[in-house]
Structure 1
Amino acid sequence: MASRPDGQVGMLVKRWRERRRRSQLDVSLAADLSAKHLSYIETGRSNPSRQMIERICDELDVPLRERNRFYLAAGLAPAHSERPFADLGAAEAAVRAVLAGMEPNPAVAVNVRWDLWATNRAMQPFLGDLPAELAGPPVNMLRVTLHPDGLAPRIRNLQQWRAHALRRVRRQLESPRDVTLDEIAIETFFPADATTARILRSLTTPPA
């Protein structure tokens, strides 16, 4: 049984609606509820059901980890589980197949915190000589690529990569039915010139 409304879930709804720059009327129409009902939810006068939370979160594109906070705030059990990467079964195999398919270009799979979960063969030489302070575990790819003792000196367009990475982090902070799977991202590092491409091919080509 849901707890009495205390406004906590309403504050989350309002925060995410404003973050997505959506009006109450817009969200209420899309989520199939009245604007008055949505207003009651946001002000704590009404506690939404599990189905209502899911519809609102779908419209606001709320990440699964954050959706669990909605459920808890409404007095409900979290709906989305979280498992280690190694327990994802067929999904793990699919991620590793994508990484292998990126060769000879280096590629990694990371979670929402940019911690390294998997890598292809092309990426391994770049991570093999990291200093102890960067070697983990876990290896944090954001820190590794931006740190002066990590991969930063090897990235020719470092300023562009830094700007891209920071934009990604900001979007993640603002932003499958499993938390782990929902948060996986695959990062691929493409060569900037023909020389780099040739070197990458040599790193993954077995000796004759």
Structure 2
Amino acid sequence: MAISEQRTQSQAGPLLREWRERRGLSQVDLANRAQVSARHVSFLETGRAKPSRAMVLRLAEHLDVPMRDRNSVLLAAGYAPLYEEKPLAHPLMAPVLDAVRQVLRGHEPYPALVVDGEWSIVDANASFALFTEGVAPELLEPPVNALRLVLHPKGMAPGIVNLGEWRAKLLNRLRRRAAADGRLRPLYEELLEYPCDQEEPEVDVPGAGDICIPLRLHRGDRQLSFFATLATFGTPRDITVAELIIESFFPADQATAEAVRALGSS
């Protein structure tokens, strides 16, 4: 066996094992899902067998590996990447952007935005200006990072009533993503350094009647409360499309709904 082939196997096997362990599966669990033998899974992970391109894709599908990381596993196994990453300016992305903008406009008068895989804001509706009120101008210079915008002491942070809760939620989400995507590690380390004078719960323990963590904002003499939903494209074949997330905010109480509708009609 050639040395180069051994190196390829040793690179692909650990990646497959890492994703299996990340998903909390045993080799038997993965073998049953992929309808192969546990012995074969073991041989692939240890480099005693070289996975075919089809087998890499099959295991990645059952491990729910993101497209960007599927390309990494394919490369490690000695195959060309399969999934493209077209820029948003590419002509083929026009229908995607049109669909996103329809969703954003349709969500008025409530705030909504779309972010990419690094949490940079791709687009937002007019009502999102409600969230950026009082934010330092330099934080609104493109490219605007949504997490930096929320947590920066010159961003939304001073106006967030429950900053500790939201900071913990966002940082936990980013930490999990950064563990798989090294591009996000510098952002995570930067945000960790931002000040917060509120308790940041390590574990989310709901109170009586809680159904989700609201985003509570001071706006003048009012307190507005929102909950968020996340939407993604259902059948992407491009990395850029797969990583787009539409975050839509809805009023969490009647007072907020009335206040936002009044602002929208003024």
Whether TM-score is above 0.5 comes out as yes
> Which ranges in structure 1 are unaligned for 5 or more consecutive residues?
none
Residue 57 of structure 1 is matched in structure 2 by: 60
Higher deviation after alignment, 21-30 or 81-90:
81-90
Answer yes or no: is 1:200 the counterpart of 2:201. Answer: no
Matches within 5 A, 1:184-195: 184-195=244-255
Q: 135, 138, 148: which is aligned to 1:143?
A: 148
Residue 97 of structure 1 is matched in structure 2 by: 102
1:104–1:122 Cα contact (<8 Å) kept: yes
Q: Map Cα deviations across residues 85-131 of structure 1 (whole Å, 9 max, x no partner).
A: 24322222111111222211111100121111010110135447642
1:115–1:140 Cα contact (<8 Å) kept: yes
Identity within the alignment, %: 47
Paired letter, 1:108: L
Paired letter, 1:81: E
**1:133 CA drift (Å):** 3.9
2:111–2:130 Cα contact (<8 Å) kept: no
**1:184 CA drift (Å):** 0.8
Structure ranking higher in strand proportion:
2
Q: 1:191/1:86 Cα in 2 relative to 1: closer, same or farther (>3 Å)?
A: farther
TM-score relative to the length of structure 2: 0.70
Q: 1:154/1:196 Cα in 2 relative to 1: closer, same or farther (>3 Å)?
A: farther
Answer yes or no: is 1:180 the counterpart of 2:240. Answer: yes
Aligned with 2:122: secondary structure?
A: strand
Aligned with 1:122: secondary structure?
A: helix
TM-score relative to the length of structure 1: 0.87
Matches within 5 A, 1:100-139: 100-124=105-129, 126-127=131-132, 130-139=135-144
Aligned with 1:118: secondary structure?
A: strand
Measured in 1, the distance between the counterparts of 2:142 and 2:174 equals 21
Q: 1:124/1:84 Cα in 2 relative to 1: closer, same or farther (>3 Å)?
A: farther
Residue 15 of structure 2 is matched in structure 1 by: 12
Measured in 1, the distance between the counterparts of 2:94 and 2:239 equals 15
Measured in 1, the distance between the counterparts of 2:89 and 2:262 equals 30
Q: 1:18/1:56 Cα in 2 relative to 1: closer, same or farther (>3 Å)?
A: same
Measured in 1, the distance between the counterparts of 2:62 and 2:83 equals 17
Residue 37 of structure 1 is matched in structure 2 by: 40
Aligned with 2:5: secondary structure?
A: coil
Measured in 2, the distance between the counterparts of 1:131 and 1:20 equals 40
**1:9 CA drift (Å):** 0.6
**1:199 CA drift (Å):** 4.1
Q: 71, 78, 87: which is aligned to 1:84?
A: 87
Measured in 2, the distance between the counterparts of 1:132 and 1:5 equals 53
Q: 1:27/1:11 Cα in 2 relative to 1: closer, same or farther (>3 Å)?
A: same
Measured in 1, the distance between the counterparts of 2:106 and 2:160 equals 22
Measured in 2, the distance between the counterparts of 1:174 and 1:12 equals 13
> Which ranges in structure 2 are unaligned for 5 or more consecutive residues?
181-235
